[in-house]
Structure 1
Amino acid sequence: MPNSISDTTRDVPMIEARGVHKAFGANPVLRGVSLQVRRGEVVAVIGPSGSGKSTFLRCLNHLETIDSGHIAIEGETLASTDAQGRCSYAPEAELRRICRKSGMVFQHFNLFPHLTVLENLIEAPMVVQGVARGAAVARAEALLAKVGLSAKRDNYPERLSGGQKQRVAIARALCMEPDIMLFDEPTSALDPELTGEVLRTMRELAEERMTMLVVTHEMGFAREVAHTVAFMDQGELVAARPAAEFFADPGHERARAFLQHML
């Protein structure tokens, strides 16, 4: 509960990345990216395709490994680099525990096609967390109600629209009770008329003070919901400002050109 969080804990960034570098072969994808996300903050990461946004997000929960830099989640070190430039990760058990602090929602849903909606939601809590089936079902049903999909609990993913699949994916991530939600372009695979229902769910999470890092092309969401907008280009995080300030003046020529193209 919020009143049980000490002032010291409250001041620790939920996500802290410093000087993160990542290359695929000879192709540098992240060039010294640094970003902090505070408790209850919504940060929108925007920028042109190929700028490293999704790779950065995937590095934060170990779906990709970094070459150098420092990543900490709620004050616990996920990856660090020593004075000789050697990057190392936390021990395996600790790594898994730290990564469970974050829930991830992907562009293409990644639902299990052979499982019903309910089964998709209860699988990880039961297998990974050891939650009893009855408790996992109760948690899943509450979250399906939250995203407006209680009537779809026994459907298979193939019977759902794209927007419904993405809301199921959000509920599935929330079933693990994460402290942080990471969204990787959650509406980019959707038809325009289905985008609104997913953004509505994300707005509700923001209103509940869920810590969120959102890679998105939805400028309206970034402007209206995000506290901070971070702009990436060519593997660099070149501008990060409060949303209102960013859209008034992002403070960087590459970011200005991007906004002129998008708005």
Structure 2
Amino acid sequence: MPNTTSDVPMIEARDVKKRFGHNEVLRGVSLSVARGEVVAIIGPSGSGKSTFLRCLNHLETIDSGQVAIEGELLASTDAAGHCRYPQDAEVRRICAKTGMVFQHFNLFPHLTVLQNLIAAPMVVQGVARDAAIARAEALLAKVGLAQKRDNYPARLSGGQKQRVAIARALCMQPDIMLFDEPTSALDPELTGEVLRTMRELAEERMTMLVVTHEMGFAREVAQRVAFMDQGELITARPAAEFFADPGHERARAFLQHML
């Protein structure tokens, strides 16, 4: 059973390694995220940020290391160096603790906004249709899109699609939200509305791990900033400390380029 005490990390990754063929994408990444904490992961393209995020909810399997979600092992490595996952049903149960928002929305184009939100709660969780609709409508109001419930995704702006995607992930009532560069596909003027929604979640103490290139968001909203480069987590510091002095030359050079 999960350990629900508040001092148990919501995410605990230890020495996570992942390769695609001969390309070692993650080279022993370790990171712990506390309950209610917002951690921003930044770094250059190709540094392994998105792959690391995908390893935390089984969209990618790891080659070695350990991943625990709220104290429950999703992946572990035995004494012989073999990576082990639980049975599929157990993996699905553990991964249900996390919701994920992708760079490119991934909405179903043939479903309305409301239908996009209620599909997974009804099919995966067995939520009654009326209850799923009530949950969805409350979340659409939360992200400022109540009036778009009957629209199809093609009728929405990029920022609106991403806010729908956030609401859809929240519809599954996760304990942790993972964001994979949620604003990188948006025009600059649409980025603000998505970041406002994420700020509100942070204010409500939602545990969030955010891969982002938005330095303003990382500085203002995240409690900690983790910097990755070439498959390694180089440094992780409180946000104010990181932006005052990243503490590592590679991180310092990255910041000078971004700011």
Aligned to 1:85: 81
Aligned to 2:129: 133
Distance 2:23 2:197 in 1: 36
Aligned to 2:72: 76
Aligned to 1:219: 215
Question: Alignment partner for residue 257 of structure 1, among 239, 242, 253?
Answer: 253
How far has the Cα of 1:169 moved from its partner? 0.0
Aligned to 1:208: 204
Q: Normalising by structure 1, report the TM-score.
A: 0.97
Distance 1:37 1:90 in 2: 22
Q: Normalising by structure 2, report the TM-score.
A: 0.99
Question: Alignment partner for residue 41 of structure 1, among 37, 43, 54?
Answer: 37
Over 2 Å off, 4+ runs: none
SS in structure 1 at match of 2:67: strand
Note the aligned Cα RMSD (angstroms): 1.0
Write the letter of the residue equivalent to 1:54.
S
SS in structure 2 at match of 1:250: coil
Question: Alignment partner for residue 112 of structure 2, among 109, 116, 124?
Answer: 116
State which drifts further: 84-93 or 100-109. Answer: 84-93
How far has the Cα of 1:160 moved from its partner? 0.1
Q: Provide the aligned length of Structure 1 versus Structure 2.
A: 258
Distance 2:59 2:171 in 1: 19
Distance 1:181 1:188 in 2: 17
How far has the Cα of 1:59 moved from its partner? 0.3
Question: Alignment partner for residue 176 of structure 1, among 161, 172, 178?
Answer: 172
Aligned to 2:157: 161
Write the letter of the residue equivalent to 1:262.
M
In percent, how many aligned pairs have the same letter? Answer: 87
Write the letter of the residue equivalent to 1:238.
I
In structure 1, the gaps of 5 or more residues are 1-5
Distance 1:249 1:72 in 2: 30
Q: How does 1:7-26 map to 2 (within 5 A)?
A: 9-26=5-22
